[in-house]
């Protein structure tokens, strides 16, 4: 991967699970691998906040009008509406947006799916990064297939099995 200037800021707003250096570096790698896969070449900044279920439920209610916890929320700083089928990632410089991960839900899902917390958090980070870059799996079956194919490709680059 060509080196890009990347800043990943972390904030821990939960006390359910310890936020280790190893987990933060895994998230950084997931951001790097997603940007490399997408051939993003500009300086980038991403904020990743770890919360518990109560924290993410409040955000989900406030921003999506869904009153329940979820695993991850993405808050892109750019709107990709336009004439192109592809997000204009080469035009973006700087802050891409915010990622909020519920470590409580991630731990529960990891156990449900039979893999490690690290793999689940890597997956959620990749998934969220694709949202920050303009992909959306909720707009159509075709968009879902495209986004999930991209996230599987990034996870494979990281040494994890595809999900879909």
What would the two tokens of residue 82 be?
Answer: 């336009």
For residue 42, what pLDDT is reported?
87
Place of tokens 């959620």: 124
What does the domain layout of the chain look like in residue ranges?
6-157
Cβ neighbours of residue 58 closer than 8 Å, sequence gap 6 or more: none
Residue 94: which of 40, 37, 149 has the closest Cα? 40
Q: In which element (H, E) is residue 46 found?
A: strand 44-51
For residue 7, what pLDDT is reported?
95
Give the integer Cα–Cα distance in Å for 94 and 101: 21
Answer yes or no: pTM beyond 0.85: yes
Q: Residue-wise pLDDT tens for the chain (164 aa)?
A: 456 689 999 999 999 999 999 999 999 999 999 999 999 988 999 999 999 999 999 999 999 999 999 999 999 987 655 444 555 555 545 789 999 999 999 999 999 999 999 999 999 999 999 999 999 898 889 989 999 999 999 999 999 987 76
Place of tokens 């707003």: 13
- How many CA atoms does the CB half-sphere of 87 hold within 13 Å? 23
Domain 6-157 class in CATH: alpha beta
List the alpha helices (DSSP H) in the chain: 21-37, 53-64, 103-113, 117-132, 141-157
Q: In this structure, how many other beta carbons lie within 10 angstroms of the beta carbon of residue 113?
A: 12
């Amino acid at each position: 991967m060509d080196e890009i200037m990347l800043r990943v800021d972390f904030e821990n707003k939960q006390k359910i699970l310890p936020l280790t250096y190893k987990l933060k570096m895994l998230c950084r790698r997931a951001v790097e691998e997603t940007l490399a896969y997408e051939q993003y070449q500009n300086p980038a900044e991403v904020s990743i906040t770890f919360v518990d279920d109560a924290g993410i439920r409040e955000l989900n209610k406030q921003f999506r009008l869904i009153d329940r916890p979820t695993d991850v929320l993405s808050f892109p700083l750019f709107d990709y509406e336009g004439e192109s089928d592809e997000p204009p990632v080469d035009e973006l410089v700087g802050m891409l947006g915010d990622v909020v991960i519920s470590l409580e839900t991630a731990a529960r899902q990891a156990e449900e799916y039979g893999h490690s917390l690290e793999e689940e958090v890597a997956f959620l980070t990749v998934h969220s990064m694709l949202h920050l870059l303009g992909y959306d799996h909720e707009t159509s079956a075709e968009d879902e297939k495209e986004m999930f194919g991209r996230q599987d490709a990034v996870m494979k680059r990281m040494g994890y099995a595809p999900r879909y």
